[in-house]
Structure 1
Amino acid sequence: MERFYFDYAATSPVHPEVIEVIYDAMKNHFGNASSIHYFGRDSRRIMDNAKMVFARSIGAKPNEIVLTSGGTESDNTAIIETAFAREKEGKHIITTVIEHHAVLRPMEYLETMGFEVTYLPVNKFGMIDLQDLKEALREDTILVSIMYGNNEVGSILNIESVGKIIKESLSTAYFHTDAVQAYGLETINVKKDFIDLLSTSSHKINGPKGIGFIYISETIHLPSFMLGGEQEMERRAGTENIPAIAGFQKAVEIAQLKKNTRKKDYQNFSNHLLYRLKEGGVEFEINGHPDNRLLHIINIWFKDVSSEQLLLLMDLAGIAISAGSACTAGNINPSHVLMAMYGEKSQRVNESVRISFGIETTIELIDHLADELIRVTTKLKK
């Protein structure tokens, strides 16, 4: 059976050019970047070049880029290390109810350690009320962590306004944003948006898994989340994964080059899919913000159709979509994002699916997806 992938928000296939770069690095550039001989210097050169590319992609400096294993480590570092480094200044943290679990779980952990966390609510579009943020900020607030774009419904939060509000408040809070879903597709400038900490991950943009970076403003210092050697200027211990770093660099370069074209394609894919569903008589509504959203993600409520049954039948038809974040270890649990947006008892919670696009998506595949969605939803309703 031929299979078709529409779950790029969970992970993406590695780009063929990225695979070539990784293979070359594994074969020809195996030195330890901390070694002073030629082989070490060769690996160091690759790593330094990659950091320059990463820094330029978000308007930062190379010395503000710390390589990590991906989004989860970056989020944990930003949140937990900030909390413990600044707990003498205050123990209050602000986040939102729709964050990825890589943010929410560290918050829950910190609450067991005596920290107070304020969880900002969202409206039906998945957006926070900026007035709620203003009222939540206190003199003892040490960190605000608000995601750039939501991984389930795609809503883009107003990061520039958030950064400005924090900057102009009486609080000295650091501003962290989980940009894992937005990075590579949205234009990000950490200086313009007053961002102190930012998390990314390679595998969302056709790079290898197990590599990412955290941006840490040079104006702040956080202790290393990993204990061991003195790599990354003592900010992250462990021998650097040069092949993965080189692959991530190539993925970023391709993403930056193709960004505008991809966004236009993704918008066309969404429009065409919705047109076909409407034409096919399917009863549906879009979850999240209709306009201000990540264009590769579309979350759809199919009225009176179980999302679990829909996923299973679509998989049997060779089509991969999802019901939300892939980080619930395969469990189809009610989405905390949809519950926050529409209420725990809303039909949408158990009748919505996420469809996401990527480099292998074509308009022909969208037609095939639409045909199967029309067929399966009609069957389930009967």
Structure 2
Amino acid sequence: MTSTTVVVIGAGPAGMTVATLLQHSGIDCVVLERSSRDHVAQRQRAGIVETRAVRMFESWGLTDRVLGGVPYDGILEFRVDGHSHLVSDSDGSQGPAARLCPQQVLVQKLTATFLEGGGDLRFEAADVSLHDLTGERPTVRYRAPDGTPRAITCAFVAGCDGDRGVSRTAVPDGVLTAHAFDHGIGWLTVLADAPPPAHPLLAVSRQGFAAHFPRGPHSSRYYLQCPPDDHPDAWSETRVWDALRTRLGDPALASGPITDREIFRLRSLVHDPMQYGRLFLVGDAAHIVSPMGGKGMNLALYDADLLARAVRDVVRGDDDTALRTYSSRCLRRVWNDQEFSHWLTRTLHDAGDAEPFLRNLARARLDRLFNSPASAGAFAELMTGLDPTGRTVTENLPGNLSGVGGD
């Protein structure tokens, strides 16, 4: 049996951010990941690291090391029935801008930084289980790739293994309250070797919602609204490109080889609290947000930042205030971003093919966004990454040592 300060479960954006920030703070940790390194490095999801998250990495002195991609110019294109409206998501504050940085690039750079610093990252860890989470020294058990059973004792466990991981299931029934919402909307998501748009593009039409986002200099990700129980096989390449050209209002849209397609249901989920004993849930293990607005990965980065700073407070100064309040501080931001994502989801989908009353309400909201400086400013602030606490990313709460427990 080995020992460390923190065991991090999961090597995605949340887990590798926690691990890298802990390492940067001189705090030892072990990362356990059930998949292979190649699989983790290729998982493609979110594509924008928002302004506030970039500034978070800057506050740690890690921006140049862990962020790839290119600076994002802060312009979104909304296309309503083929008519273009450019909206800035710059809130006017000083500092580095958001980055167009696909999830796999961020994870690859975080992983390389962690390993170059001597980090302990164990891939293909099977049958992970968590024990004694309310005790002084929890134990994490797993099976190594050669089948050998292993165990690690630790002071804290960071559960960063997503919505279907083992971390949240280790919490006893009745401890967490799940707040779930099904939007009743499906998206076909398509990855293709096709030219990216000049700006991230969100399109509204009576045929349904569509979107076009850059995923590199020569690749794009597209989204098409569809029934949530639809099947990818129902969407031939011809049908995909015909629907995109119609909904994006661009008959000349260039096509390219489709390399991946899947359908997922838009849903939102929040678990409260985000901690149990010495287990702290981070990112998708605690909350799922509709992809509209690009908040999912960014919320995970904020959770990771708060947790790393809180652990640092305990290890360096015997101050557990930030650790005890981790859940309440995270959830305040989570609910703020859930509300924004829900607003944007309903607005862009209702403005297309909803019944007339809801469609006209949604189009009135878009009209305010396009024509009211105050509405555009509020939108930009939320897109940038508003901190609802009003605190800077480097500020910690004062307090004194009184033990670590759930909220």
Name whichever structure is richer in helix by fraction: 1
Comparing both chains, which one has the higher relative contact order based on Cα–Cα distances under 8 Å and sequence gaps of 6 or more? 1
Same fold (TM over 0.5): no
Report the structure, 1 or 2, having the larger strand content. Answer: 2
TM-score normalised per structure 1: 0.26
TM-score by length of 2: 0.24
